[in-house]
Amino acid sequence: MLNFRPFGLRLAGRIGAGLLVAGLAAPALAEYPADRPVQFISPYAAGGANDYLTRLMARYMGETMKANIVVDNKSGANGMIGASAVAKSNPDGYTILMGNSATHGTNPTLYKKQPYDASKDFKPVAMVASVPVVMVVNAGLGINSVQDLLKYGKTHRLSFGSSGVGGTGHLTGEAFKAATGLDMVHVPYKGDSPAVTDAMGGQVDLAFVGTASATTQQASGRIKILAVAHPNRTRALPDVPTMAEAGYPGLEFSQWYALFAPAGTPDAVVATLNAANKAALANPDVQKSLDAQSAEGTYRTPQELGVFYQSEIQRFGDWIRKLDLSAE
């Protein structure tokens, strides 16, 4: 008894302290987001699909969460600069990445060395949308179809732009090059928007970019959209043929976008963000905005997103190995 009572008191004290800590921790977690801004990092330049979707989600998720969500563009290295910044940030829910099919799809295979591990350094939060890749060409070339491009390419060396080395636009261009035998050199940019801008100005002959970036510039008359790398024609571009219709089946590439938090972020925080994402995607105004960009809003739970992006790492990895691509 003499030994039991002190041990029992100590045990009771520890239990009481644990309950006190739990009692204090629960309200602190429930307060997320507290009275401080949440930062959404877009790892690409302003003006492209990644930037557009980041700002769209920041606005409508912020309304649901009653939080001030600010957007910061940290572009470069095919999204790795921005992704790395998030991976190294505090896992408290206040720094979130709008990742995509490059940061969490192609990069893990393409780059032998990366400043982050896509599988270990992040926690999947929510899927946002997918955007088909399209082929756009400088209108001044007088090319109106894929067949016209093939004829032109027989006597000209072509240059094509994309959002960066190893992105879905780059893979689409390399797959098209392999399928057609055209002599094409890749010119990487820090996002779709500058790639389209240079295609409009003639600095590159064509570009493989997300539909959103192409449709916003189509009205200028300085670019033409020749094909969409998707199984079906899109609602935004009903008159544009698919790659299969142009004679190249199997060239199906879409840019997808999803939110990721640093590894170690509390499940309750992830759940709050995921619920806000689900509410945003169900908002009619958001649906209209996505339709205008030919983007398909896709809700997934964190667990479903985890399974999806791991499968994409494998799928894109197969393409990268087939095309024998690599990057430093």
What are the structural domains, with CATH classification, of the chain? 38-130+255-323 (3.40.190.150), 132-246 (3.40.190.10)
What would the mean pLDDT of 196-221 be, rounded to a whole number? 91
What pLDDT does 180 receive?
96
Q: Stretch 71-77: mean pLDDT, rounded?
A: 93
Q: Residue 322: its pLDDT value, please?
A: 92
- Tell me the pLDDT band of 1, cut-offs 50, 70 and 90: very low
Amino acid at 245: E
Distance from C-alpha of 248 to C-alpha of 225, rounded to nearest angstrom? 16
Separation between Cα atoms, residue 272 and residue 40, nearest integer Å: 15
pLDDT attached to residue 8: 42
Q: 124 or 328: which carries more pLDDT confidence?
A: 124
Give the residue-averaged pLDDT of 219-245.
93
Stretch 257-268: mean pLDDT:
98
Distance set, CA 98 to CA 103, 173, 313 (Å):
9, 24, 17
Residue 21 pLDDT: 39
Task: Examine residue 33 and say whether the peptide bond preceding it is cis (omega within 30 degrees of 0).
Answer: yes
- pTM given for the model: 0.79
pLDDT of residue 27: 37
The CA distances from residue 324 to 30, 175, 234, 301, 317, in Å, are 49, 11, 30, 34, 10
Query: pLDDT band at 48, cuts 50/70/90?
Result: confident
- Give residue 69's pLDDT band: very low, low, confident or very high (50, 70, 90): very high
More confident residue, 316 or 3: 316
pLDDT at position 288 is: 94
Nearest C-alpha neighbor of 217 from the set 45, 44, 49: 49
Nearest C-alpha neighbor of 156 from the set 169, 170, 137: 137
Query: End-to-end distance of the chain based on CA atoms, in angstroms?
Result: 69
Write down the pLDDT at residue 78.
Answer: 84
* Cα atoms in the 13 Å half-sphere on the side-chain side of 96: 33
Q: Which of 131, 134, 151, 132 is nearest to 143 (CA)?
A: 151
The per-residue pLDDT for 9 is 39
**Beta pairing, strands 206-210 & 158-162:** parallel
| % of the chain beyond a pLDDT of 90 | 73
Q: What is the per-residue pLDDT for 245?
A: 97
Q: How many CA atoms lie within 13 A of 45 on its CB side?
A: 17
pLDDT computed for residue 5 by the predictor = 41
Instruction: Judge whether 50 and 167 are in contact, CB under 8 Å.
Output: no
